[in-house]
Structure 1
Amino acid sequence: MTILVIIGNGFDIQNGLPTSYRDFHKLYSSKLNDILVHFPDFFDDQEWSYFEENLAVFDEDNFRETSALEPSMDDMIESSKYVNGYNDEIEEKVRELVNDIHDSFKAWVKSINVNKALKFMAFPEGCKFINFNYTPTLQQVYLVPDINVLHIHGQVRGNIIFGHGAGNGNKASSSSFNENKPWFEEANKSLASVTDQLYKPVNEILDNSRASLEGYGNVSKVIVIGHSINEIDVPYFKLILDTYPDVTWENWNYDEGIMESHENLLNLGVAESKLNSSCSSGLNLAYPQ
């Protein structure tokens, strides 16, 4: 019998690691604030609690106006170099913006020292892990073999996948600039690509991981630790529920996260009689070292 353990960020936080978006904000707000002003959803999220989700809406007009000087009609009539130069400058500024976000996020993840984690529980025999975190906490602190851990969004030792999950990206906030000034088509394409480049391709990841997710055999229980079961990750949980419909579920979370994650699992279709949600502070008693 297999116990399937789903690990969310709350697990690393409970191990004493600075992996919340609030921690990311402390280290990188001075570097990224001038960039994130172009993503309007950050306006009411002062500590980046919804960092990835907030990348879904990009203000093209604001970015365009502050990134390059638009050539006048007289300049463009005089020479096509002004149009080409403007398009090239917008393309370069878009590349810098996306790279700064990617590089900062990856640098932060890589800076987290797992050796400072404080082990607080022991996992039962027969566990397989689906880890939504990028850190090797399970392997280095809990001595779980790599073969038993699926890093669904990649890991710090390899490729890291992050971003929003709104549609297929391309959720820009812009005016009718495209129709009015078609000669800036290349610049418009560059601007429209921002949310695409910051999109987390969940369906693609799901397809690539399907064999692993469906191949755990005779699963008796699913244990969820520190995961909010947010909207972007629902497809993974839905596949697990469909593949293992008769298992019992344990859901461990903190404070308001307990009820929120509990309701999210019920909405997915987990039977209330098969679901038990508790505060994560009790994990060390339920699974003592």
Structure 2
Amino acid sequence: MQKLFIIGNGFDLMHQLPTKYVHFQNFLRENFEYTPDTFESLWVEGQQLPDGDIVYNEDDVVRVIDSLISQTDYKDSDWNDMERSLGLLDYSLINDDITDVYDKEGTLHPFHTGNNYEDAYSDLKEVLKMFPHFFKLWISSIDIENSVTFKNHCFQELIDVKNDLFLTFNYTETLEILYNAENITHIHGIRSEENSIIVGHGNDDTVDEGIYHEDFYTNEIHHFLRKPTQKIIDENHLFFSSLRNITQIYSIGFSFSEVDLIYIQNICSNIDTQDITWYLNIHIDDQGNDNRKERATYKEHIINCGFKGDFDTFELA
């Protein structure tokens, strides 16, 4: 009997690690010098070095990232759904910082105005392409060995560290450090590996053509911040093809967000799910309420992804 464990951020939170997106927000606001929730310019101009490279002031870059995420249509002051927000950024907010150019007769000069738009949106693209860098800084700052004071013994007794498979959406080494688990796939990368962190939205929409062709830059930004799920699946085909002996699936701290359902679909398409039991974790919050409604939603998502087996629950007391 081989089990598959699908591990989400709730697993790290269960171990009292500061891995909520609000902790990322706090990290930025505590480690960089800027005032959040202000209406400063979103146009950050780069400075050219003697070797020709263009650099941007990191405090200003973080301020722009913070401002755009915090002003999305899906606004949440705690950034609880930050990845979705990345797909809803309102790039046009920078237009307030761009000067229109007029000729002597007071007629708008489209060519020179267009140049200003091109410069502003080009800088905005470079600024937002630095987002993964700051995300990695935050993830790398989380100290597991000195922060976690306990192991979950129910989880430790449930797993077979040498035989079971682990699909984790976390960037941390919690499974490795605390439980010595071996067969782990970090589907979105791991912080200890250079350039492996993947974070982003799942919005396929593109931006309509702008008057000054600013959509050329905004669509490039939008694509850069999008999670390349199909590429990720292709690169992890060995994992998905190794699931044929799975008889039980456990999901822990995983919220089944829309952008990540493609991975569940691939799990279900690679195994005969009719004889498999999927165990959903019962979570009790600080007020004594369990996640009954969330489990019902998760079950619906799993069925829609092609799962035809049974469901059960388990609790990590």
Q: TM-score range by the shorter chain?
A: 0.7 to 0.9
1:223 to 231, 250, 261: 250
**Aligned-residue RMSD, C-alpha:** 2.8
Aligned pairs for 1:82-121 within 5 A: 83-84=114-115, 86-99=117-130, 101-115=131-145, 116-117=147-148, 118-121=150-153
Q: CA deviation at 1:258?
A: 4.5
Q: Tell me the residue number matched to 2:186.
A: 151
The TM-score normalised by the length of structure 1 is: 0.80
Query: Aligned runs of 1:124-273 on 2, under 5 Å?
Result: 124-125=159-160, 126-145=163-182, 148-158=183-193, 159-167=196-204, 170=206, 172=207, 178=210, 181=211, 184-185=212-213, 187-244=214-271, 245=273, 246-255=275-284, 257-269=291-303, 270-271=307-308
Q: Is the 8 A contact 2:101 2:108 kept in 1?
A: no
Deviations 1:200-236 (A, max 9, x none): 0112212222331121331111111111112111111
Mapped contact 2:173–2:190 kept (Cα < 8 A): yes
Q: Identify unmatched segments of 5+ residues in structure 2.
A: 30-35, 37-58, 285-289
Q: Is the 8 A contact 1:2 1:128 kept in 2?
A: yes
Kindly provide the CA deviation profile for residues 94-124 of structure 1, in whole angstroms up to 9, marking residues without a partner as x. Answer: 211331x222211111111111223113043
* Stretches of structure 1 lacking an aligned partner (at least 5 in a row): 285-289
**Aligned to 1:58, what secondary structure does the other structure show?**
coil
Query: Which whole-Å deviations, capped at 9, do the CAs of 1:32-74 have from their partners, x for residues lacking one?
Result: 46434435436630100000101111223212322x3333356
Amino acid of the structure 2 residue aligned with 1:214: S
**Distance across 2 between alignment mates of 1:207 and 1:76:** 53
Name which of 69, 72, 79 aligns with 1:41: 72
SS of alignment partner, residue 247 of structure 2? strand
Identity %: 25
Give me the whole-angstrom Cα distance separating, in 2, the residues matched to 1:228 and 1:258.
13
How far did residue 140 of structure 1 move?
A: 1.2
The 3-state SS of whatever aligns with 2:185 is: strand
Between structures 1 and 2, the one with greater helix share: 1
Partner of 1:19: 19
Task: Figure out how many residues of one structure are paired with residues of the other and give that number.
Answer: 266
Per-residue CA deviation, residues 167-186 of structure 1 (Å, 9 max, x unaligned), is: 2x53x4x7x7x2xx3xx33x
Q: Distance in 1 between matches of 2:110 and 2:94?
A: 25
TM-score normalised to structure 2 length: 0.74
Partner AA of 2:186 in structure 1: H
Which of 1 and 2 has higher RCO (CA within 8 Å, sep 6+)?
1
The Cα offsets for residues 251-280 of structure 1, whole Å up to 9 and x where unpaired, read as 115246453244323343245x711134xx
Q: Does 1:71 align with 2:94?
A: no
Distance 1:249 1:11 in 2: 17
Contact 1:38 1:63 in 2 (8 A): no
- TM-aligned CA deviation for residue 193 of structure 1: 2.0
- Residue type matched to 2:14 in 1? Q
Q: 1:43 to 1:128 in 2, by over 3 A?
A: closer
Residues 201, 226 of structure 2: 8 Å contact kept: yes
